[in-house]
């Protein structure tokens, strides 16, 4: 059970009556309230060891639900591990400066597209210069929108192989040094210039509200060597299918306040933050992505549409292709633990129908 999910479901009706929430946030709250309840239906299991029965309700699989995401995160992690190349990897982080965060909150869909597009373009443009790499990159970006106290802090993490395709895709060019990809200063400058131009075209009214100092100050781009890339994948997997906070960080929560723990980024000390219920709900909901927006995006020869170029990379690097055999459909998978005898021998023997759907539990604000 998730105490956070239960709290969100209990607080949602009152919060929606007094605060404006978007359709995406409304759907997220409704999904969290229905998750693993009779309204979702379920499955009936029978233990082959002790012959007793058990049942489980279906999950909502919403990416903002505290209960869900474990299986999908594990599957994503395994897929990314299978795609790792025998080269050094780098984590490149692009952070949106504070003056643009209000625009991000007001126009999240547009700003997320700009953040992904301009950060990837900045990396590619600097990497294409012969003095840095002179090659085309392949990279995977993961959007992260929250800070340690659940405040809005939009940034994108890219995992980038150390090298790229050069000479029209006929050769692989390694980085000049195994633990060095490229300097961060020109990448940050290119990112700042690209965001300024793109924002002026996409949202001219919002661009006019940004102070001139934002376009003159240095922007933050961090480039770190992460070895074989496995540690970076494990780190990024936490953001693929999970939301801003989990039950592990919650200390206390009731109808009035929520207290949770966090690690201070400056000192490294563990601290606690206490918010009133409405502010905690606001911070939680501001990280619900708009419908249709992808948190993970691929660029260059890592894009799914560029699979032929990806095959060229694998050939140039002599990557061993591992084909995982498919399991026969008639093979019974024993992986669920029986709550009665603790044996991993539960097998699905039936389904539970969904109960009649109740009226929408989240009323619209007047």
Residues 197 and 299 in one domain: yes
- pLDDT tens, residue by residue, 207-258: 999 999 999 999 999 999 999 999 999 999 888 877 888 889 999 999 999 9
Please answer whether residues 361 and 13 qualify as being in contact, where contact means their C-beta atoms are separated by less than 8 angstroms: yes
For residues 176-182, give the mean pLDDT.
Answer: 93
- The Cα–Cα gap between 124 and 127 comes to 5
* Structural domain for 146, as ranges: 86-244+287-316
Q: Domains in the chain: how many in total?
A: 2
Position 258 in a domain = no
Residues 144 and 292 in one domain: yes
- Short-list 184, 172, 157, 187, CA closest to 87: 172
Residue 324: CB partners within 8 Å, gap ≥ 6? none
Position 271 in a domain = no
Residues 170 and 217 in one domain: yes
Predicted pLDDT of residue 331: 47
- The Cα–Cα gap between 90 and 35 comes to 37
- The Cα–Cα gap between 197 and 229 comes to 33
Please answer whether residues 159 and 84 qualify as being in contact, where contact means their C-beta atoms are separated by less than 8 angstroms: no
How much of the chain, in percent, has pLDDT values that exceed 90? 65
Q: Which segment of 49-58, 114-123, 196-205 scores lowest on mean pLDDT?
A: 49-58
- The Cα–Cα gap between 230 and 89 comes to 9
Which DSSP symbol is given to 363?
Answer: P
Predicted pLDDT of residue 266: 82
Indicate the pLDDT class of residue 115, thresholds 50, 70 and 90.
Answer: very high
Question: In which element (H, E) is residue 302 found?
Answer: none
Residues 292 and 338 in one domain: no
Indicate the pLDDT class of residue 199, thresholds 50, 70 and 90.
Answer: very high
Looking at the chain, how many residues does it have?
366
- pLDDT tens, residue by residue, 265-280: 888 899 999 999 999 9
Residue 196: CB partners within 8 Å, gap ≥ 6? 207, 215
Residues 173 and 228 in one domain: yes
How much of the chain, in percent, has pLDDT values that exceed 70? 92
Position 77 in a domain = no
Position 276 in a domain = no
Residues 212 and 308 in one domain: yes
Reply yes or no on whether the pLDDT at 300 is more than 60: yes
Reply yes or no on whether the pLDDT at 282 is more than 60: yes
Predicted pLDDT of residue 329: 46
Residue 170: CB partners within 8 Å, gap ≥ 6? none
| Dihedral (CA of 165, 167, 170, 175) sign | negative
Which residue stretches of 35-107 are H helix? 70-82, 101-106
* Distance linking the first and last C-alpha atoms of the chain: 33
Predicted pLDDT of residue 33: 87
Residues 192 and 148 in one domain: yes
- Short-list 163, 64, 183, 164, CA closest to 122: 183
Taking CA atoms, 301 is separated from 87, 113, 159, 250, 310, in Å, by 15, 19, 13, 41, 5
> Of 168 and 32, which is predicted with more confidence?
32
Edge-to-edge strands of the sheet including 257-263?
250-253, 257-263, 270-276
Position 75 in a domain = no
**Backbone φ and ψ of 291, nearest 5°:** -60, 135
Position 172 in a domain = yes
Reply yes or no on whether the pLDDT at 131 is more than 60: yes
Indicate the pLDDT class of residue 363, thresholds 50, 70 and 90.
Answer: very low
- The Cα–Cα gap between 129 and 187 comes to 12
Please answer whether residues 154 and 190 qualify as being in contact, where contact means their C-beta atoms are separated by less than 8 angstroms: no
- The Cα–Cα gap between 29 and 12 comes to 7
For residues 297-320, give the mean pLDDT.
Answer: 92
3-class DSSP assignment, residue 165: strand
Predicted pLDDT of residue 91: 97
Give, in degrees to the nearest 5, the angle at Cα 121 between 118 and 122.
85
Reply yes or no on whether the pLDDT at 1 is more than 80: no
Residues 103 and 218 in one domain: yes
The reported pTM is: 0.87
Predicted pLDDT of residue 185: 96
Residues 99 and 239 in one domain: yes
Burial 264-276 (b: 16+ CB within 10 A, else e): eeeeeeeeebebe
Burial class, 254, CB count within 10 angstroms (exposed 0-12 / middle 13-18 / buried 19+): exposed
For residues 72-79, give the mean pLDDT.
Answer: 89
Predicted pLDDT of residue 324: 59
Indicate the pLDDT class of residue 296, thresholds 50, 70 and 90.
Answer: very high
- The Cα–Cα gap between 189 and 119 comes to 11
CATH of the domain at 237: 3.30.70
Residues 106 and 32 in one domain: no
Residues 34 and 98 in one domain: no
Edge-to-edge strands of the sheet including 42-47?
53-57, 42-47, 346-352
Predicted pLDDT of residue 96: 96
Query: Average model confidence (pLDDT) for the chain?
Result: 89
Residues 31 and 90 in one domain: no
Reply yes or no on whether the pLDDT at 124 is more than 70: yes
Burial class, 245, CB count within 10 angstroms (exposed 0-12 / middle 13-18 / buried 19+): buried
- pLDDT tens, residue by residue, 48-73: 888 888 888 888 888 888 888 888 88
């Amino acid at each position: 059970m998730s105490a956070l999910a239960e709290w969100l479901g209990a607080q949602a009706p009152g919060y929606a009556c007094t605060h404006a929430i978007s359709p995406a946030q409304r759907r997220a709250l409704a999904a969290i309230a229905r998750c693993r309840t009779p309204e979702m239906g379920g499955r009936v299991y029978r233990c082959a060891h002790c012959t007793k029965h058990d049942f489980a309700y279906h999950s909502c699989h919403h990416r903002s639900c505290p209960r869900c995401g474990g299986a999908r995160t594990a599957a994503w992690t395994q897929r990314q591990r299978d795609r790792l190349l025998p080269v050094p990897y780098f984590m490149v982080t692009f952070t949106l400066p504070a003056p643009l965060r209000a625009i991000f909150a007001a126009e999240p869909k547009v700003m997320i597209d700009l953040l992904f597009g301009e950060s990837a373009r900045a990396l590619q443009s600097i990497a294409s210069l012969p003095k840095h790499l002179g090659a085309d990159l392949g990279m995977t970006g993961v959007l992260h929108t929250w800070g340690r106290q659940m405040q809005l802090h939009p940034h994108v993490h890219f995992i980038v192989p150390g090298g790229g395709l050069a000479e029209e895709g006929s050769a692989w060019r390694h980085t000049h040094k195994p633990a060095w990809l490229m300097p961060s200063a020109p990448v940050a400058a290119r990112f700042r210039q690209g965001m300024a131009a793109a924002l002026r075209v996409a949202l001219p009214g919002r661009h006019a509200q940004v102070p001139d100092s934002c376009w003159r100050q240095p922007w933050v781009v961090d480039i770190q060597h992460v070895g074989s890339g496995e540690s970076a994948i494990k780190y990024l997997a936490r953001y693929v299918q999970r939301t801003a906070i989990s039950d592990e960080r919650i200390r206390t929560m009731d109808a009035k306040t929520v207290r949770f723990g966090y690690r201070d980024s400056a000192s490294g000390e563990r601290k606690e933050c206490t918010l009133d219920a409405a502010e905690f709900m606001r911070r939680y909901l501001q990280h619900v992505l708009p419908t249709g927006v992808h948190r993970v995006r691929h660029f260059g020869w890592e894009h799914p549409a560029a699979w032929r170029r990806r095959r060229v990379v694998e050939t140039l690097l002599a990557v061993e292709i591992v084909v995982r055999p498919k399991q026969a459909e008639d093979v019974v998978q024993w992986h669920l633990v029986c709550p009665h005898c603790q044996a991993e021998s539960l097998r699905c023997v039936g389904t539970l129908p969904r109960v009649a759907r109740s009226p929408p539990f989240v009323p619209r604000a007047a």
